[in-house]
Amino acid sequence: MTTRTGTGSGAVVAAGGAVVLPLALAQFIASYAASNMNVAISDIADDLHTDVSGIQTTITLFTLTMAALMIPGSKLTDIWGRKFCFILGLVVYGVGALLALLAQGLVLLTIGYSLLEGIGSALLIPPIYILITVVFADVKTRAKWFGVVSGAAGLGSAAGPLIGGLVTTYISWRASFGLQVLVVAGIALLARRIVDPPLPTQRPRFDGVGAVLSAAGLFLVVYGILQTNEDGWGSAKVWILVASGALVLAVFFLWVQNRERHGRTPLVSPSLFKNTTSNLGLTTQTVQWLVLQGTFFVISVFLQQVRGYSAIETGLMLVPATIGILLSSAMAQRMASRHPQRLLIRVGFTLTIVGIALLLALSRTDSAVWTFWPGLFLMGFGVGAMLTASVNVVQSAWPEHVQGDISGVSRSVSNLGSSLGVAIAGSVLVAAAAKGNPPYFTALIIVGGFALVGWLAALLLPKAPAPQQQETPSA
C-alpha cells in the first residue's frame, strides 16, 4: 500500500493515490465546511429566526474549535493511532453534520456544526499530514502528495461558496449538511484500505492540563474579538476577554516548559517555537487563511446584504477565486520543483495584495459584475500558489520524529487564521458602519493589511532550512 517499494512507477502512483484519496477528500470536506456557510448566511438566519451576527459566530466557532483542539488531536494521533483517529474524526464529524441538518434553532446548529464538526475535524486532520509523512519515504514524493492535500484544502475553501450556493438555492441550506454526511461516509469506506505503520511501543501520555489551557486561551482571545460585533473595540469586556486569553496562553507555555523540564511529555514542546524558519512559515500559513476566509466573508455579506444576491448568485460571483486556486494548485508541484518555496510564498502574497487592491479600486455598490473578477482571480491564484509552499517550509524544517507535533501546530494556526479572518472581518464591518465609514471598503483594507504582514514574513524566510541543524524537541 505504501510507496516505499514498488514494481514500477505506475504501481507506485496507483498505490500512493489509494492512500491519499481519502485523506485529500477529508481535507476538502473540512475546508468546504468552513466556507460554504458564507453564501447561505441570509437563508439560515431567516430560517432559524436569528441574525447575521449569530451565523457569523457559528462559522467562527467551527474554525476556532478546530484551532483549539488541533494540537490535542495531533497528540492523540500518536497515542491512539493515525487510522483510528482519522476514522473516529469522520464519525464525530458525520454526527455533527446530521445534527446541523436537523437543527431548528441556532443552539443545535452550533452544537452540530461548530462543536461536533469542529471536534471531528481536529481528530481527522492531523493524521492526514502525519500519514503522508510516515508512508512516503521519498522527500519529492512526499512533497507531491502534500501538494495534493494542500490543494484540496484550498479548493474546498474556494469551491465551498459555489457548491453551497447551488445546494442552498435549488434544495436547501440543510441539504449542504446532508451532502457532508454522505461524503464523510464514503471517505470512511475508502479509509479502510489505509495501512497505518506501527506506532512505537512506548507511547506518550496525554497532557490533559496543557490541552485545557491551550484550548481555553485560544477560545478567549477569538471570542473576545467576536464580542466587538456587539460591544465595539473600545469595550472593557472585549479587552478583558482578550487579555485573559493571552494570560492563559502564557500559563500554558510555562506549564509545558515545566513539564518537559521534569521529563514528562508536554502537549507540545516549547522547542517547536524556537525554529525561525518554522515560525515564519507558520506565520504565513496563519495569514493566508485569515485573508482567504476574511475576504470571502466580507464579499459574501456585501453581495447578500447590499446587492441582494441569492446564495447561488453569491457563489457564482466567487467563482474567479475558485478558478485561481484551481489553476495555481494544479501548477504547485511543477512550481515547487523549479522555484524555492520562499519565492512562491512571496509571489503568492504579492498577487493576493494586488487582487485585494483591484477589489478596492474597481468594485462598488452599483458597479458591473465583472469589476469583482480580476481581484478575486488574482487573490485566489496567489493564495493557491503559496498554500503548499508554506506547508512544505514548516514540515521540512523538522526531522521525521516530530512530524506529528509540528503537523498539529501547523493545522492549528491555519484554522486559527480562518477563525480570526471571519471574526476580525465581521467586527470591522460592524465598527465601521457604526462610525459612518464604508464598512466593506474598510474591512477589505484591514484584510489587505494582514496580507502585507504575511508578505513581510515571507521576505524574512531564509534560503533553505536544514532540519539536521535545528534544535529538535525531546521525543
Q: Give pLDDT tens digits for 25-45.
A: 999 998 898 788 878 888 898
CA–CA dist 454, 295 (Å, integer): 15
Position with higher pLDDT, 91 vs 54: 91
User: How confident is residue 473, by pLDDT bands cut at 50, 70 and 90?
Assistant: very low
Percent of the chain with pLDDT over 90: 35
Q: Same domain, yes or no, for 160 and 70?
A: yes
Position with higher pLDDT, 464 vs 140: 140
Q: Same domain, yes or no, for 300 and 332?
A: yes
Q: Same domain, yes or no, for 85 and 231?
A: no
Domain end among 231, 247, 266: 266
Q: Kindly report which listed range (75-79, 80-84, 148-152) carries the lowest average pLDDT score.
A: 148-152
**Is residue 5 assigned to a domain?**
no
Residue 42, pLDDT score = 83
The stretch 390-406 carries a mean pLDDT of 79
**Is residue 201 assigned to a domain?**
no
298: Cβ–Cβ under 8 A, 6 or more apart, which residues? 425, 429, 440, 443, 444, 447
Amino acid at 267: L
The stretch 47-71 carries a mean pLDDT of 85
Q: How far apart are the first and last CA of the chain?
A: 28
CA atoms within 13 A of residue 455's CA, in its CB half-sphere:
16
Q: Same domain, yes or no, for 294 and 166?
A: yes
The stretch 73-79 carries a mean pLDDT of 84
CA atoms within 13 A of residue 307's CA, in its CB half-sphere:
20
Q: Same domain, yes or no, for 304 and 422?
A: yes
Average pLDDT for the chain: 84
Residue 405, pLDDT score = 78
Residue 312, pLDDT score = 83
Over 70: is that where the pLDDT of 248 sits? yes
**Is residue 248 assigned to a domain?**
yes
CATH classification at residue 19: 1.20.1250.20
Q: What is the CA radius of gyration of the chain?
A: 21
Q: Same domain, yes or no, for 186 and 211?
A: no
Over 90: is that where the pLDDT of 132 sits? no
Domain end among 217, 251, 266: 266
**Is residue 3 assigned to a domain?**
no
Residue 464, pLDDT score = 60
**Domains of the chain: total:** 2
Q: Same domain, yes or no, for 310 and 433?
A: yes
Show contacts of 268-273: CB within 8 Å, 24+ apart: 268/71, 268/75, 268/210, 268/214, 268/405, 268/408, 268/409, 269/402, 269/405, 269/473, 269/474, 270/473, 271/471, 271/472, 271/473, 271/474, 272/398, 272/402, 272/405, 272/406, 272/409, 272/473
Position with higher pLDDT, 311 vs 372: 372
The stretch 247-273 carries a mean pLDDT of 90
**Is residue 89 assigned to a domain?**
yes
**Is residue 7 assigned to a domain?**
no
Q: Same domain, yes or no, for 298 and 149?
A: yes
Over 50: is that where the pLDDT of 181 sits? yes
The stretch 246-251 carries a mean pLDDT of 95
CA–CA dist 298, 303 (Å, integer): 9
Domain end among 243, 266, 289: 266
CA–CA dist 12, 145 (Å, integer): 12
The stretch 59-73 carries a mean pLDDT of 85
The stretch 302-326 carries a mean pLDDT of 85
Question: Which structural domain range is residue 211 located in?
Answer: 207-266
Q: Same domain, yes or no, for 87 and 135?
A: yes
**Is residue 172 assigned to a domain?**
yes
Over 50: is that where the pLDDT of 331 sits? yes
Q: Same domain, yes or no, for 214 and 294?
A: no
Nearest to 299 by CA among 312, 286, 318, 320: 318
Nearest to 403 by CA among 414, 417, 391, 415: 391
Q: Same domain, yes or no, for 241 and 344?
A: no
Burial 38-64 (b: 16+ CB within 10 A, else e): bbbbbbbbebbebebebbbbbbbbbbb
Position with higher pLDDT, 293 vs 457: 457
138-178 tens-digit pLDDT:
666 776 787 788 778 778 877 888 888 889 888 999 999 99
Among 51-65, 76-90, 426-440, top mean pLDDT goes to 76-90
Q: Same domain, yes or no, for 307 and 418?
A: yes
**Is residue 275 assigned to a domain?**
yes
